[in-house]
């Protein structure tokens, strides 16, 4: 039983250490500027030259899925964290009240 508790505590420590390290590293990255690509198509008639410009979207549909999945997991982790903290606070109150 104590082995399980030790492993669980180590996993929690490594998880929160990785999360805090990741948030600090995220702030160090240089900001990327978004540029808009323009796709040109040329239509040639016998006497008229037409140039049509259409902006090309750089963001893919997969990016939306990644962000939705990340926000879903963020909500789950926050709720689990709140439940664990609330349970530990209740246990602490049993001993110190």
Q: Tell me: the pLDDT tens digits for 45-95? A: 556 656 666 555 555 666 788 888 999 999 999 999 999 999 999 998 888
- State how far the Cα of 74 lies from the Cα of 67, in Å rounded to an integer: 10
- State how far the Cα of 77 lies from the Cα of 79, in Å rounded to an integer: 6
- State how far the Cα of 2 lies from the Cα of 47, in Å rounded to an integer: 86
Q: Tell me: the pLDDT tens digits for 9-50? A: 999 998 888 888 887 776 665 555 656 666 666 665 556 656
pTM of whole model > 0.75?
Answer: no
* Residues 6+ away with beta carbon under 8 Å from 38: 53, 54, 55, 56
């Amino acid at each position: 039983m104590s082995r399980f508790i030790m492993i669980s505590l180590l996993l929690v420590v490594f998880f929160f250490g990785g999360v805090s390290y990741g948030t600090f590293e995220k702030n160090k990255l240089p900001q990327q500027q978004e540029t808009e690509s323009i796709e040109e198509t040329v239509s040639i008639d016998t006497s008229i030259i037409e140039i049509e410009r259409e902006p090309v979207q750089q963001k893919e549909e997969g990016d939306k899925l990644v962000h939705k999945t990340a926000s879903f997991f963020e909500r789950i982790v926050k709720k689990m964290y709140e439940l664990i903290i609330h349970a530990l606070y209740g246990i602490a109150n049993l001993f110190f009240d």
